[in-house]
A and B are shown apart, each in its own frame.
Chain A
Amino acid sequence: MPIDRDADQQQPAARSPGGDELERALRQLRFGIRSRLSARSLDTADLPELFATLRRRFGTLGMTAGSVEIDDFGMDDRTLARATPILDFLGDHVFRIETLHADALPETALFVANRAADWPHGGLLLAHWLARSSPGRPRPRFLCDGEFAARPFVAPQLTRLGGVRAHPENALRLLRSGRSVIAFPGVAGASPGGPSGLGSFGRGGLLRTAAKASVPIVAVGMVGPESLVPQPGASGWGLPTPWVIAFGEPLHCSPDAAGDELWLARSTESLRRQVGEKVDEARARALRR
């Protein structure tokens, strides 16, 4: 059946009193759209320019010609500068990040947080929050799971935004150069009260790395990142919930401790417990919000 485009104009009596204004607005909108479409017809388009633009866009698909300010791990200052307003918006307005005990954090530290989610967005936003709270210091770097650090399209972007593949040598090099590192050991989505707790924190690798670099370790409990990511057993996507990040007391490690297996084993267990306590504290705070 053919559509009568001006049928609405032919039946004014059926409209409500406010309908006239709406009708007029719609007519203007339609006129505007049609006039714009006709002005940008293919007859007048600059096809060589369009081709050059498309070629340039396609040529940099998944890449960027970025700035020269690229550090040894591939972090790109220009990409970060572009992402900063988005990260600010996410942190301040979407996730409404709240921190606990963040007033006396060491300048360089190995932050060990619970792995709230498999995705690296927790690390990205925590690194951004730490960078924002201590301007002038080198930006903290977050360690990414090997799976994400190898994924096409994702891996280059994470690298430019400060992500580093989770590897003890990477962490040690960063810490020795005065950059803080955020690590996420354990099992994704696990909770301290769950059947397996937070999962294994390894055999002292984190403590050994911090000891070798002579930097303190700070336990971090994060609540919130898990809400955005589909969890095992759950269906669909969650809505963003407010994040709470609770920091622990810095645990100082001396280089001599790197070879003390007993100390490493005990301290790893103590660190795991402390991260669990911080998660509980952050969760309690989140429930009160």
Chain B
Amino acid sequence: MAEARSLAITGLGNPVADRFARRLLEGAPSLRVIGLGQRMPAGLRGRIELVAVDPGASGCGADLEAALRRHEVDRVLHLPFEVAPGETFPEGEGWLARAAEQVAHASARAGVERLVVLSSTMLYGACTTNPAFLGEGQRLVGHPGSAWLRDQCRAEEMIARAALANAAPAVTVLRHPWLMGRGVRNAIALYFASQLVPIPLGYDPMLQFLHPRDLQDALESATFDAPRPGVFNRVPGDALPLSRLLALAGKQPLPMPRRGLLSVPGAPRLGRGDESPAVFYDFLCAGWVADGERAAETFSPPIYSTREAWAAFGAAHGRA
């Protein structure tokens, strides 16, 4: 793996970044990995050096650049989008966009060769006007009620602007759908883990689930293989209706009208825990299936289909 000398990861503390850092430490022990941020998961303490800098704080671009230069970083993984359930964040709206802008420009100034950014196909929005398969060129609309998604839309815009303005680094953006599989910890997995699953009455959208391993493979490939600049939908090749997924896992759907759904205690809240459950339920009303053909040609195709990723999750939380 690697002609890379040193690699920096932002967003340590969230499940995707932690898992990838562990994988790097096991797969390439000679690679120097540093964390840029303010949180360090217990399992990585002593194995990764943490540079205490808040990428989203105003005016921290110089600190970021200095840290990247000091550690001779040539690859940066910007992964702060994912959120572990139960974590609290003091950062307000705009943090993701500021962090993206500052990391992208600091990377360019520090001579970083490659920047890999993690994003989500949720940014396409769950709109009834969407085509059945959303390509990478689709406009990003997020969700009108979600500050988190709005912020991430701006973050992608900042990344795209920085990529246009600077010849280097080569920027790869990976958009992924909801993650599902054994050991996945996020608000969506918690929601589907229960036996009785409240769902919007009268809707049965097609859903895609990506196995975390396929995301990790794509991250690794984007970081260490030949540069592949651009935006890619890292999604499985198939999608299944919600009803079918619930039946496969032996879950009992509980269709409810919207008002009833919103009053269910413990309704899932996306993002940083402060989003209205209405945002999540809107993603169960309209389709937002992404077209992963381009990513499958560029990287290796995902190993797990939606059905298999769901089955891996269901084996732990149901009967699939």
Contact = CB atoms under 8 A, between A and B. Distances in A.
Most chain B CB atoms below 10 A, which of A64, A74, A159, A164: A74
Contacts of A63: 199, 204, 241-243, 253, 255
Interface residues of B, number: 29
Nearest to B242: A63
B192 to A, nearest CB: 15
Contact of A72 (B238, B242, B246): B238
Contact of B203 (A62, A74, A76, A169): A62
A82 B56 CA distance: 56
B244 A61 contact: no
A168 B131 CA distance: 8
B244 A66 contact: yes
A64 B243 contact: yes
Nearest to A171: B131
Interface in B188-207: 199-204, 206
Contacts of A76: 241
A89 interface: no
Contact of B128 (A65, A146, A169): A146
Contacts of A62: 201-204, 255
A83 to B, nearest CB: 16
Contact of B204 (A55, A73, A146, A156): A156
A150 to B, nearest CB: 3
Interface string B129-159: 1111101000000000000000000000000
B1 interface: no
A195 interface: no
A168 B129 CA distance: 12
Given A62-B203, A63-B204, A152-B201, A70 B244 contact: yes
A182 to B, nearest CB: 16
Most chain A CB atoms below 10 A, which of B244, B254, B285: B244
Interface in B239-270: 239-244, 246-247, 252-255
Contacts of A170: 131-133
A65 B240 CA distance: 11
Given A167-B132, A169-B135, A173-B132, A60 B203 contact: no
A173 B133 contact: yes
A70 B239 CA distance: 9
Interface string A239-275: 0000000000000000000000000000000000000
A74 B206 contact: yes
Nearest to A61: B255
A165 B130 CA distance: 9
Interface in A45-81: 55, 58-66, 68, 70, 72-74, 76
A8 B239 CA distance: 65
Contacts of A73: 132
B241 A153 contact: no
A152 B203 contact: yes
B286 interface: yes
A164 B287 CA distance: 12
Given A60-B253, A152-B202, A165 B131 contact: yes
A72 B129 contact: no
Contacts of A173: 132-133
Contacts of A156: 202-204, 241, 243
13 contacts: A62-B201, A62-B202, A63-B242, A65-B246, A66-B243, A66-B244, A70-B240, A73-B132, A146-B128, A152-B203, A156-B241, A165-B129, A170-B133
Given A59-B254, A59-B255, A169-B133, 6 more contacts: A66-B241, A66-B243, A74-B241, A152-B200, A165-B129, A165-B130
Interface of B: 128-133, 135, 199-204, 206, 238-244, 246-247, 252-255, 285-286
Interface of A: 55, 58-66, 68, 70, 72-74, 76, 146, 149-150, 152-153, 155-156, 159, 164-165, 167-170, 173
Question: 4 closest Cβ contacts across the A-B interface?
Answer: A152-B202, A150-B128, A65-B247, A63-B243
